[in-house]
Amino acid sequence: MTYVIAESCVDLMDRSCVDVCPVDCIYTGDRKLYINPAECIECGACEPECPVDSIVLEQTATPAESAHIADNAAFFYDLLPGRDGVLGDPGGAVGLGVVGADTPLVAALPRRDS
């Protein structure tokens, strides 16, 4: 099990979680942040830093948050719109930079005003 970032992060992306992640496993999409399930060490440092309580442990996810478990993995292991290949497990978000794409689930959500 790993941590997952749910819908309340969409169009917010505070990034406080990124600053405290000791393994650099939180990646930046276009409208949302994503935790790489293979790189997360489940330390929990990110969870209390989220100002909108969007980060949850998979096994404690509510039904509304559950859709983001598979979606979070899809960000890394499915081909994202506008990309030439899957991200896979790049080994750190800093070196990769902003991905600039989201999963179809996130891309389809209505935009929120910042």
Domain boundaries, the chain: 3-82
Q: Is the pLDDT of residue 114 over 60?
A: no
Check residue 40 and give its pLDDT: 97
Let me know: does 78 contact 104? Beta carbons within 8 Å.
no
| pLDDT average, residue stretch 8-33 | 96
Residue tagged 């081909």 (tokens): 79
Query: In what helix (H) or strand (E) does residue 28 lie, and over which residues does it extend?
Result: strand 26-28
What average pLDDT score do residues 84-97 get?
95
pLDDT average, residue stretch 85-95: 96
Nearest residue to 110 (alpha-carbon basis) of 10, 14, 1, 4: 10
Own/partner contacts of 79-86, CB < 8 Å, gap of 24 or more, are 81/107
**3-82 domain in CATH 3.40.50.2300?**
no
pLDDT tier for residue 1 given thresholds of 50, 70 and 90: confident
